[in-house]
Every structure is written in structure tokens, then in C-alpha cells.
């Protein structure tokens, strides 16, 4: 357990002990605060954007505010009241239509009693430093060339409250708008839903972060009903709503756009569950396609690949394949092994390898009107799938352009057998002879891998001996 988690656990246990001994739950109230507007020369006040500009100019070096009389102003858009933020404030420049946001690290818990949502603050920059830490702009105290926490004893002198508590209007964005420029801001994303695998499974919806496999954070995937993109909603295992189940409907998200601990992937983070308004019962799940299993394999080959001509440890190329990375940095690659989980000569494999990953391997166009009795066969194996997923999808409206993969319509092929996590990892499994002849027109078939940096969801799938045939 890292030091932040230990500190957080200790703080929560102390608070629980104090509350239990001293008050009834319904007796605890935040005392009313009367804040006088601080007197600060307006010429000394700079915006969040000025600090971000200094970070950009400094490159890899931290910005040190040693001898300065400047103050940074902004509005608090995070709250740790529900336990989903810890010893940090997210501050953006304006209550509506923000253009800049920054994370402020401070060794204080809780913070919501002093710096509530919408509170305007002035931060005295003297002695502070700013830099990109874990992928996002961060302000705090420099220690070993890293920006760390402002100490408790200087909290009130450094972070000065204004009398203003503004109404925060979320910045409406799409999943495709995620960028460094909109991190550390209070955003709203409309028309999204949690994936059907997380909320419509046999065991019912997953919790936000209460599963046995969740360590430090629960990562759940939402997908856009407008553009097909996906993103991660991250929830701390210390959040008081961690054990609530995910909503099955679609709707909107309001919260902070951050990055994961490693600074590699964008994460959506709730202040509390009220940031989710999922009230549309009409989900936008893909259609399921089932033509059944065929009795025989046709004698006319249409497309096949055993990957033997591929270059080991390099991305799959040629033979009409489209190898597309939607999320992360890992593509389908050629792989060879003679170990217990051996390959079939050279095979194709996909894995998350500690990074949130969504990787597609798509066949060339297949004209299903040119012949009859088309079937699909392939074999799969895994190196402990660990909750990662491999789906078979089919599209009859994708135009072959990688830029339109996400916006195309992809239906799910339900008949093929794909290796399960419960299967022995050293074996290869046949898909069965999958009938695809009930589809018409020109189609593409996609093998889509989904995994994450969570060690319980970062497994590997292997694929080989793909054959599409007809009568």
C-alpha cells in the first residue's frame, strides 16, 4: 500500500472514531462560515492560465515561484466530501466556460469544510512550484524536483478564501474532445453509458469500486452513444459510494477530467454519485448477430491468415488487415513462443501491458453477395485473460478508413467460441464453424481487445488460423 493510501486510511479511521464518540450522524453539520473578502492588490493577481503558460515555457523543469508577490485566483471545482478526492484541490479559472485548470496538492484532509465547491480562492505563489506531475498541471511545494504537498501549517496563509461562492457551469465536451487542454476542469459529457459487460452481466451491475479485484481505484468503462468512443470512470476504493452499483441506463456525467496515476490515460472522476444522471432507459448497445453454426466448411476460400509471414514482436500488417489503436499504445502484434502457452508458429496477440488499451484487428472487405454459405473459423488462446475482453464484431457500413472505425456501426457476432479466462492458458480453442451467410453486402470483421492497467484486467489474448470460406 502506498503512503497516500495509508495516510488516507488513517485519516478516515480517525474521523470515524471522533464522529462515533462525539456526535450522532444526523447531528454533524458544517459550521456556517462568514468570510470577509481579502484585500489584495488586483495588479498582483494572475489567472490559472498564466501559471499554465509558465509551465509550458519551462518544459521539463519546474517553475519556481521564489521571490514573487503574485497570487493565483480561481474556483474550486472538486470536493473530497464523498472521499473520491484526497489532499488535493482542482481549481479552474472561471465558473463557466473555463479555459484553464490546475491541481493543488495540500497535506490537509478533509478540505471541503474550508474550500467548498464553487469557492473562489487566492493562492499565494511565493515559495510554491508548478509542473506537470502524473500528466496534469500541478501546483505545490518542490521536493526532490517533484511538486509535492503544501504543508498543513501554511494552509491558511497560502490558500486564501474569497467571500464568493460561484455557481459552476460544467464545460460540455465529448469523449473525443479529451486533451491536456481540458484536464483539471469541471466537465459534462452527455449520452454515455457503462458498457453492457459491466452492467448487464449474469451477476448484475458491477459496483463503482467495491469489487474484490479493485485496488486503490475502480476503473469502469463508459461509451458514447453518439460517436462510439469510450473512456474510464475512475473511483477511489476510499470513496463512500464505492459499493453502489453502476447505473444500467444512459445519461450524462458531471465531474473532473483528470489522468490516471501514471499520467497515461484520461480519467473521468466524480465528486459524488449525483454527478451521474443516467435516466434514459434506452441503451445504445450494438445489435447482436447470430446466424448459428454451419454443418460444413465450404470449398471456396475467401480470406485466410496464419500470420507466418509477419515479423515477430512487430504490429500485424499486410494481407488487408487494419491494425487500429483506439486507446493506449498497444496494437495487435506478431508473437511466437514455445513455452507452456505456446503460439501456433507465429500468432497475433493483444494485451494491455499496464496501459488502458482498446485495440482492433480488422479483416479486409468481404463481399457476402458474391457467393453463398460463408463461414468464419479461427482459434484463440490466452495468457490469463484476467477480466480483459476479446469481442468479435461485424460491420456493413465501415468504409475502410481508420478515421471512421469508431463512428461506424459494429454489431456483435455471438456464435464464435472465444477462449475464456477459466480455460487452461496453454490450450488453443476452436471458434467453431460460424455461419455468417445471413448477413448481406460488403462487411468487415473485427477482433477487438479491451484491457486496462489494472493487473486484474490486463490479460493477453492470442489469435491464429483465421479462415473465411464459402460454398
The SS3 assignment for 120 reads strand
Sign of the dihedral defined by the CA atoms of residues 35, 37, 39, 45, in that order: positive
Pairing type for strands 300-305 and 322-327 reads unpaired
Report whether 116 contacts 33 (CB < 8 A). no
- Residue 171: how many other CB atoms lie within 10 Å: 21
Element containing residue 465 per DSSP (H, E): strand 460-470
Which residue reads 470483421 in cell numbers? 445
DSSP 363: P
Report whether 109 contacts 87 (CB < 8 A). yes
- Number of Cα atoms under 13 Å in the Cβ half of residue 139: 29
For residue 401, the cross-strand partners are none
Give residue-wise pLDDT tens across range 431-444: 999 999 999 999 99
Residue 218 CA from chain centroid, whole number? 10
Reading the block at residue 277, the C-alpha cell is 444522471
Which residue reads 453518439 in cell numbers? 226
Give residue-wise pLDDT tens across range 124-135: 999 999 999 999
Q: What is the reported pLDDT for 456?
A: 60
* Rounded-to-integer distance, Cα 383 and Cα 147, Å: 39
Report whether 395 contacts 407 (CB < 8 A). no
The SS3 assignment for 410 reads coil
Q: What is the reported pLDDT for 455?
A: 65
Angle (nearest 5°) at CA 75 between 61 and 72:
45
pLDDT lower than 70: segments of the chain:
1-33, 228, 354, 453-457
For residue 432, the cross-strand partners are none
Give residue 216's region: left, alpha or beta (phi > 0; psi -120 to 50): left
Q: What is the reported pLDDT for 203?
A: 81
Element containing residue 88 per DSSP (H, E): strand 88-92
Residues 6+ apart with CB under 8 A from 430: 377, 379, 417
Q: What is the reported pLDDT for 453?
A: 64
Amino acid at each position: 500500500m502506498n503512503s497516500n493510501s495509508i495516510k488516507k486510511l488513517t485519516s478516515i479511521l480517525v474521523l470515524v472514531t471522533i464522529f462515533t464518540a462525539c456526535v450522532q450522524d444526523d447531528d454533524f453539520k458544517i459550521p456556517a462560515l462568514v468570510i470577509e473578502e481579502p484585500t489584495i492588490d488586483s495588479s498582483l493577481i494572475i489567472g490559472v492560465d498564466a501559471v499554465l503558460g509558465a509551465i509550458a515555457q519551462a518544459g521539463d523543469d519546474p517553475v519556481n515561484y521564489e521571490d514573487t508577490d503574485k497570487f493565483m485566483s480561481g474556483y474550486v471545482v472538486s470536493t473530497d466530501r464523498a472521499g473520491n478526492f484526497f489532499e488535493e484541490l482542482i481549481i479552474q479559472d472561471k465558473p463557466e466556460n473555463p479555459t484553464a485548470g490546475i491541481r493543488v496538492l495540500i497535506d490537509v484532509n478533509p478540505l471541503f469544510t474550508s474550500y467548498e465547491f464553487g469557492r473562489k480562492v487566492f493562492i499565494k505563489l511565493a515559495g510554491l512550484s508548478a509542473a506537470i506531475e502524473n500528466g496534469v498541471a500541478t501546483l505545490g511545494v518542490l521536493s526532490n524536483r517533484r511538486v509535492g504537498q503544501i504543508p498543513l501549517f501554511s494552509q491558511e496563509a497560502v490558500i486564501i478564501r474569497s467571500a464568493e461562492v460561484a455557481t459552476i457551469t460544467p464545460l460540455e465536451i465529448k469523449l473525443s474532445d479529451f486533451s491536456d487542454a481540458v484536464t483539471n476542469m469541471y466537465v459534462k459529457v452527455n449520452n454515455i453509458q457503462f458498457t453492457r459487460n459491466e452492467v448487464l452481466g449474469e451477476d448484475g451491475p458491477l459496483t463503482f469500486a467495491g469489487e474484490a479485484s479493485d485496488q486503490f481505484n475502480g476503473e469502469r468503462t463508459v461509451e458514447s452513444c453518439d460517436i462510439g468512443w469510450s473512456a474510464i470512470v475512475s473511483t477511489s476504493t476510499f470513496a463512500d459510494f464505492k459499493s453502489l452499483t453502476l447505473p444500467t441506463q444512459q445519461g450524462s456525467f458531471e465531474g473532473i477530467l483528470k489522468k490516471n496515476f501514471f499520467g497515461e490515460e484520461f480519467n473521468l472522476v466524480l465528486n459524488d454519485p449525483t454527478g451521474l444522471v443516467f435516466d434514459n432507459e434506452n441503451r445504445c448497445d450494438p445489435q447482436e448477430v447470430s446466424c448459428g453454426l454451419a454443418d460444413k466448411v465450404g470449398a471456396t476460400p475467401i480470406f485466410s491468415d496464419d500470420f507466418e509471414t509477419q515479423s515477430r514482436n512487430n504490429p500485424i500488417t499486410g494481407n488487408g488487415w487494419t491494425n487500429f489503436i483506439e486507446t493506449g499504445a498497444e496494437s495487435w502484434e506478431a508473437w511466437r513462443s514455445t513455452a507452456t502457452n505456446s503460439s501456433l508458429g507465429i500468432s497475433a496477440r493483444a494485451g494491455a501491458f499496464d496501459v488502458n488499451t482498446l485495440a482492433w484487428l480488422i479483416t479486409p472487405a468481404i463481399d457476402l453477395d458474391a457467393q453463398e454459405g460463408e463461414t468464419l473459423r479461427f482459434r484463440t488462446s490466452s495468457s490469463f485473460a484476467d477480466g480483459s475482453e476479446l469481442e468479435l464484431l461485424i460491420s456493413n457500413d465501415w468504409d475502410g478508413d481508420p478515421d471512421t472505425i469508431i463512428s461506424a456501426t459494429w454489431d456483435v457476432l455471438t456464435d464464435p467460441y472465444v477462449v475464456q479466462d477459466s480455460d487452461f492458458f496453454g490450450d488453443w480453442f476452436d471458434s467453431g464453424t460460424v455461419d455468417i451467410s445471413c448477413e448481406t453486402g460488403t462487411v468487415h470483421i473485427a477482433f477487438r481487445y479491451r484491457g486496462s492497467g489494472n493487473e486484474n484486467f490486463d490479460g493477453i489474448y492470442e489469435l491464429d488460423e483465421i479462415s473465411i470460406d464459402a460454398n
